[in-house]
Structure 1
């Protein structure tokens, strides 16, 4: 039997009044529950419930979509202006008048913000939109955003060629490079993840196409490379099943092509994913599979795999195993020669190496009472070495460094680094980065007497998705 809906208190605040107004208009559609309305306006049902209860601040674009779906005649958009518009103007004025944080204020990055990308599927029951009628119209006002999405949707997926050409291979390489670049700078959610999925689907459809013998290995290598970057993007967005499929495609293509470097890279990602998901034993197995015939791998690739082993041992809280794997990774990296590496390994520089090994040492410091300085020094080097092209890696390293100091060092320094981390992470669509922020927020809760720690926790809460 369904639970009765909570009685609302519209007199408590303007935000509560707005929520009650939303419920009034929803109830005018008999049988329409919050769980049904959410996907219709491209948010979760939980967001609708929180808005109605006054626990969540509605965005203007959402108010506009609610007006369109509930056919209110624009009531909610006008109400939004009265309830939230003044607050927005005040905040913009304050931001322009003051640089940096004002005492007592919470800085919130708006843009892409973690998890705010639209992931709900568009309803399929909407009537089709007449493209000619739309083109003849003079205004967007009469057409809902959800109808516009239907209007611009492609009628069919792109066609594959009748025979694989060198230009197709070049396109696969350029797309893989683009996804890798966008993923590292912005995170794997939103449009990046969607584009990645569509690109891999097109690439896989190339595999059975007639291909000249001299291009076959290149095709397999290009699809393997694309599978790796697509899998990494899905991993970052927590689409783990999709990530595993992409990595499996990459592994099969790399094996068939006889490309030991791409094979090793695939197993490195499978290792990291397994360890992240709480199965470090499987993660260790994948890393060691990648190291089979390590004589065929460059020192940089060996260092990457030993770092994956270290992260698996760290999750096991195995002190000796972790330290030995970090040592092996350091030894291999000391022999690195970028000129001998494939171009797609260029990301694994000193900053990346320090960040990867620091994560393993972080687990020892937090869970095995080991020296936190070893991890802290490496996080600091990673942060200093990563530029804006690797904003996600820099943001994650800053967040973990702040968590380490919050738990085992100077909380004041941790707070300063935590705010810097938010400057990076608040602009990303990375679920991994969001989870690291939650860990930092929890550790900051140990220092409730520090007003700055309370402020950091508030800012993290404001940055994370509801």
Structure 2
């Protein structure tokens, strides 16, 4: 006897589950092994004591929450099971995570599993906080520390994935990237998270060095894509956690260019939330850490993003320098063979380069209006190039909205309206909160400045009929 009253809430859920005490004990032990908690050994008598009021030791409460949530297909909290809420350990509560292969696997698997389980839009994101400033930058600098020669993954069972299956996993990741570019992050995000969870399960086994690195690389690309999709639909804290985990996995894979790409993506998120100085530091960390290992296309991408950060800081001279570097580095036809680009770098086309640099000039033009013509020239070129590209629909939409903002800067409301109508049609084909928010802001600004222009009123009403209500 425990001397405590029985846990009536846990008893209620247990009775409805249809499990026996022995079945629940076996499920807890299996999940504990998956988490690397080999010390957990639950039996029937232990389950009985939990039902009688004894509070289980960590990690059993979290495992019980997961098991019952999965059993009933809904989110069940610690409190609903009559269990105390655990305090989040410092090492996993933010972005300052341990740089160790086995721990990276556990964290990737845990976060993907939680996301799958708590996949009601925004639920997981609201349980996290967004890091910025030194609390973000300092932990990311440890990406530069060398990985031990002996790969840290040493699973208990032989690996069950062949080289041929690994090829298929990599092709699937490439397909997911294509879907995201076409449709936006809101359509197939959970499929990506599910695939990431499966890959982390494979990483728990023992593999030859080369295969383990490919698995880590795939896990990094999937985590990056899951984060990018979360970013695209407005789940910023969740996106950041995926980015951080992607950086850890890239480091374990020994893939420095991929790590630089992850940092660049984190920088883009910082620009989005008006943390341009953080963005600049992340880009510089990516450039420094990947020096001598990246192709001209990747170097061009990093330089263009550096220009965006400088533009948001109002630093015109350094912005121009970075934009010029991005254009010089971009591999034109004469340099197309300068190194084999990784698959993930294929998105950075001439259209993307023009769009990125055009938005840098657009951002600077709020302080230096004479730059609006340069912004219009570059973004218009991007729109033209994207018009013949159905594979990057979201990028096309973002640049169309960008052109509307430039025309608004140039006090050309009728021209801006034309781009708004095009953007509205593109939004119908996308699931991207980012595009929706930018279009909503642009249309709002246009209407605020020109409420008496009939075409502006019509564009405002049409956009309002298509855009969902602002969250």
Q: Same fold (TM over 0.5)?
A: yes
**1:201 Cα deviation after fit:** 2.0
**1:123 Cα deviation after fit:** 5.6
Alignment of 1:49-68 (within 5 A): none
Which residue of the other structure, out of 376, 396, 399, is the alignment partner of 1:397? 399
Task: Provide structure 1 residue ranges, at least 5 long, that are not aligned to the other structure.
Answer: 1-120, 126-159
Alignment of 1:1-40 (within 5 A): none
Q: Runs of 4+ in structure 1 displaced over 4 angstroms? A: 121-125
Aligned position for 2:336: 337
**1:180 Cα deviation after fit:** 0.9
Aligned position for 1:239: 235
Aligned position for 1:411: 413
Measure, in 1, the Cα distance between the counterparts of 2:164 and 2:413: 54
How big is each residue's C-alpha offset from its partner over 1:134-161, in whole Å with a ceiling of 9 and x where there is no partner?
A: xxxxxxxxxxxxxxxxxxxxxxxxxx99
Which residue of the other structure, out of 444, 449, 453, is the alignment partner of 1:450? 453
Q: Contact between 2:185 and 2:229, CA under 8 Å: does it hold in 1?
A: yes
Aligned position for 1:209: 205
Aligned position for 2:226: 230
Aligned position for 1:12: none
Q: Contact between 2:181 and 2:393, CA under 8 Å: does it hold in 1?
A: yes
Alignment of 1:65-80 (within 5 A): none
- Distance of aligned partners of 1:226 and 1:124 in 2 relative to their CA distance in 1, 3 Å threshold: closer
Measure, in 2, the Cα distance between the counterparts of 1:342 and 1:123: 39
Secondary structure in 1 matching 2:436:
helix
Task: Verify: 1:420 aligned to 2:422, yes or no.
Answer: yes
Measure, in 2, the Cα distance between the counterparts of 1:123 and 1:260: 40
Secondary structure in 2 matching 1:346:
helix
Measure, in 1, the Cα distance between the counterparts of 2:468 and 2:253: 42
Secondary structure in 2 matching 1:291:
helix
**1:334 Cα deviation after fit:** 4.9
Aligned position for 1:254: 250
Alignment of 1:176-325 (within 5 A): 176-189=173-186, 191-292=187-288, 293-325=290-322
How big is each residue's C-alpha offset from its partner over 1:78-102, in whole Å with a ceiling of 9 and x where there is no partner?
A: xxxxxxxxxxxxxxxxxxxxxxxxx
Of 359-368 and 177-186, deviating more is: 359-368
How big is each residue's C-alpha offset from its partner over 1:19-77, in whole Å with a ceiling of 9 and x where there is no partner?
A: xxxxxxxxxxxxxxxxxxxxxxxxxxxxxxxxxxxxxxxxxxxxxxxxxxxxxxxxxxx
Aligned position for 2:468: 465
Q: Contact between 2:230 and 2:239, CA under 8 Å: does it hold in 1?
A: yes
- Distance of aligned partners of 1:228 and 1:350 in 2 relative to their CA distance in 1, 3 Å threshold: same
Aligned position for 1:381: 381
- Ranked by relative contact order (alpha carbons within 8 Å, sequence separation 6 or more), the top structure is 1
Aligned position for 1:37: none
Alignment of 1:84-103 (within 5 A): none
Q: Contact between 1:196 and 1:233, CA under 8 Å: does it hold in 2?
A: no
**1:341 Cα deviation after fit:** 1.3
How big is each residue's C-alpha offset from its partner over 1:93-126, in whole Å with a ceiling of 9 and x where there is no partner?
A: xxxxxxxxxxxxxxxxxxxxxxxxxxxx98669x
Measure, in 1, the Cα distance between the counterparts of 2:393 and 2:159: 40
Secondary structure in 1 matching 2:348:
coil
Secondary structure in 2 matching 1:341:
coil
Q: Contact between 1:228 and 1:250, CA under 8 Å: does it hold in 2?
A: yes
What is the CA RMSD across the aligned residues, in angstroms?
2.3
**1:343 Cα deviation after fit:** 2.6
**1:170 Cα deviation after fit:** 2.4
**1:212 Cα deviation after fit:** 2.3
- Distance of aligned partners of 1:252 and 1:297 in 2 relative to their CA distance in 1, 3 Å threshold: same
Q: Contact between 1:179 and 1:230, CA under 8 Å: does it hold in 2?
A: no
Measure, in 2, the Cα distance between the counterparts of 1:404 and 1:204: 44
Which residue of the other structure, out of 318, 322, 326, is the alignment partner of 2:323? 326
Aligned position for 1:175: 172
**1:392 Cα deviation after fit:** 0.5
Q: Contact between 2:297 and 2:341, CA under 8 Å: does it hold in 1?
A: yes
- Distance of aligned partners of 1:277 and 1:124 in 2 relative to their CA distance in 1, 3 Å threshold: closer
**1:249 Cα deviation after fit:** 2.1
Measure, in 1, the Cα distance between the counterparts of 2:176 and 2:255: 21
Measure, in 2, the Cα distance between the counterparts of 1:315 and 1:416: 27
Aligned position for 1:142: none
